[in-house]
Structure 1
């Protein structure tokens, strides 16, 4: 086995400069989905079509066979066997945000210390090239494959995933696959996801109660728990109400109106336990308001009975625990009350043992009891590949052969590209302790992480593509 590792290392050292040049060319393309420039052959816009063409040119330079599927996706392949091993990556990126927040130009590959910086350098352009160069190294070392290897590259992973719907209308599913779009060691389980919205029309009360709810604003987003709330009250006794709003970061009195600002601690919606929802601070203050009716009373009852401090969905009958995948999470990413309409976003993630149809039935029951409606914004079935499967056993062997460490299998609440395939798991490139700033300013990848990932992928492809 040491001979294999030595061969990989020698070839990687030979290709390092070319790998950096190819990565610089890919990073330079702002491959963000652009509806304004979409057209036949470029369904996600000109920039994503351009990066597919660039990757095609790289593969043609290296004498690989590549095929573009109408600008939705492409693949690079090696071998003529019937059985297929897949490697699923993507070439589209999220927008860079404010350039002033970056240390370097996000579309110029920059080496600084031990890191490479640039938008997409970790998600997912460098990992895609790591897999590509692993295949190139094995091909150039003349390894004999018993299975065809396909590097499948999508163009809409960051948006709709319709790239994979189109791709698999034209291609068979691989028998086994991995996606270099996650973490090491092996992410063999990802929770099911239901993201949606509760909504209700609430007429304000005409009764002579002293405090009335006028408006609630928060950022309408899905990826994080509710971090900020702006709540507007009208009150006959504004100073009295202000004293009750102890959880507010700031309160402003303007005549009979009180504007209260609530701030939580930011956390991903899939990890609500890692932060504090601003809604919980607001709900705690509502408990202290006794003279309430109409919209204020309805919201008070709803938040306190069902949502306040419940991050597992117990109050909605959604709680479940699995010995392999852990427990459910339930978070509120935003809360709105405007123009007599209440809107509450939710993000529910569940392990095996739960079924989507059962969870939806519980949501329906909850809505019927409380005169609410709900819609599902996004839904993903859970992913779970058993540790004893051939895929997991092979990935473990490859990881151990290169690193000398026995890899653990982990499960997460996140959504990786692996779910687009039937027998696929996320496998690298990020190692524990890495801080890649994915989707944030100063996205980066450690050079040693990238090179080690190439080595691991060399060994992984060799083992997966060899029947013995």
Structure 2
């Protein structure tokens, strides 16, 4: 077996320069969803269309069959046979944010200290190319595919997932598949997801004896992270005493009777709210210290205290659950907005297979009715779980061990990968334990060693799944 793995590495060394050139060309394309530039063959905008065209040019250069499905998705194919082995990756990216926050230009592939930097380099352009080069290496080495291998590339993974809906209208499901958009060893479980907002009406008028009234709460309206920055404004009859209470604020400013407090948390993915400090919780702890005398905002204060404050698992709302195979529920608050009449409190709830989507939605509806809230659901995904004894899992484990020498342990994540679009699929790489790819953050990166090892693992995986 060692000679076979060595032959993969030898062929990868032959392609190393071309791989880096291809990745640089993909990273240079700002493939962010832009509906203002959409067209008949570019439903997600010209940036994503350009990324599709670039990938098609690689396939045509290398004489692979490729089919474009109206700009929603494309596939690149190798091998023969009725059965299909799938690899699902995506070419769209999230926006880069402030370029000044990057150490390197996010759209110039930068090789620094053993890492490659650039937006999309880990999520998901380098992993997509890793899978593509695995197909090339196996073909070069003369392996005969008795199952078709299709690298299926979508254009809306970071947004609406219309790409996969469209693709599978015209193509059968693979019998087995993986998505190189997670972690090694094997992500055989992905928690269910329900994202949405609660809306809470506040009293029209402050109570007469109130000392402090909430005027405004502002935070970035995004759902991918817990609340990182929060600006709160009060009208106060005693601003100096209020300033002394707001001890967790990073800054407090008084302008006559207007008190402005700025709270800062940590940039932490909303699927992992336990890993970072939420600015809303800092504000909430200060708000709880305002004893009596709170007028406008007291409804929010009560809701926060009873059901949300410092709870990252949904226990206070009766949503906590734990599954021996998939772990605990998580609940995060990505943002809160208020301009004097109604609060919007965004939530991101993730749950194991011991709960169902219907059960959770019923619980949320019941909670909303009891507490006089309006409920809006914006995104729903059922849990994904592939049994450890399945052919897919056992084959991936075999491939992983042959390359790394280590057992491929199974894990559950809170993230959302294309594996959810499959009847039988899991997330499989590219990151290893200890990697910090900065997914969706500034300075997104992938370790070169990680990328190369992923390619070799994918070579052996496809050999086992699809060749004689």
When normalised by structure 1's length, the TM-score is 0.95
SS at match of 1:354: coil
For residue 343 of structure 1, what is the aligned residue in structure 2? 344
For residue 310 of structure 1, what is the aligned residue in structure 2? 311
SS at match of 2:337: strand
CA contact (8 A) 1:194 1:380 kept: yes
Aligned-partner Cα distance in 2 for 1:289–1:408: 49
* Alpha-carbon displacement from aligned partner over 1:78-118 (angstroms, at most 9, x marks no partner): 12211110001111222233333333333332322322222
RMSD: 1.8
Q: CA deviation at 1:240?
A: 3.2
Aligned-partner Cα distance in 1 for 2:328–2:264: 27
Q: Give the length in aligned residue pairs.
A: 467
Aligned-partner Cα distance in 2 for 1:36–1:417: 26
Worse-matched range after superposition: 330-339 or 258-267: 258-267
* Alpha-carbon displacement from aligned partner over 1:52-84 (angstroms, at most 9, x marks no partner): 222222112222111010111110111221111
CA contact (8 A) 1:205 1:293 kept: no
For residue 425 of structure 1, what is the aligned residue in structure 2? 426
Q: CA deviation at 1:31?
A: 1.9
Aligned-partner Cα distance in 2 for 1:113–1:239: 50
Alignment of 1:436-455 (within 5 A): 436-455=437-456
Pair 1:295 & 2:324 matched: no
Aligned-partner Cα distance in 1 for 2:64–2:171: 18
For residue 91 of structure 2, what is the aligned residue in structure 1? 91
SS at match of 1:295: coil
Q: CA deviation at 1:293?
A: 5.5
For residue 286 of structure 2, what is the aligned residue in structure 1? 285
Pair 1:141 & 2:150 matched: no
CA contact (8 A) 1:210 1:237 kept: no
Pair 1:248 & 2:254 matched: no
**Cα–Cα, structure 1 residues 364 and 460, in superposed 2: closer, same or farther, change >3 Å?**
same
For residue 9 of structure 1, what is the aligned residue in structure 2? 9
Gaps of 5+ in 2: none
Aligned-partner Cα distance in 2 for 1:163–1:111: 31
For residue 31 of structure 1, what is the aligned residue in structure 2? 31
For residue 360 of structure 2, what is the aligned residue in structure 1? 359
Aligned-partner Cα distance in 2 for 1:272–1:66: 41
Gaps of 5+ in 1: none
For residue 21 of structure 1, what is the aligned residue in structure 2? 21
Q: CA deviation at 1:459?
A: 0.3
* Alpha-carbon displacement from aligned partner over 1:149-207 (angstroms, at most 9, x marks no partner): 11101111122111111101100010100111111111111111111100022233353
For residue 405 of structure 1, what is the aligned residue in structure 2? 406
Q: CA deviation at 1:268?
A: 1.9
For residue 333 of structure 2, what is the aligned residue in structure 1? 332
For residue 101 of structure 2, what is the aligned residue in structure 1? 101
For residue 62 of structure 1, what is the aligned residue in structure 2? 62
**Cα–Cα, structure 1 residues 358 and 70, in superposed 2: closer, same or farther, change >3 Å?**
same
Alignment of 1:454-465 (within 5 A): 454-465=455-466
SS at match of 1:239: helix
**Cα–Cα, structure 1 residues 77 and 285, in superposed 2: closer, same or farther, change >3 Å?**
same
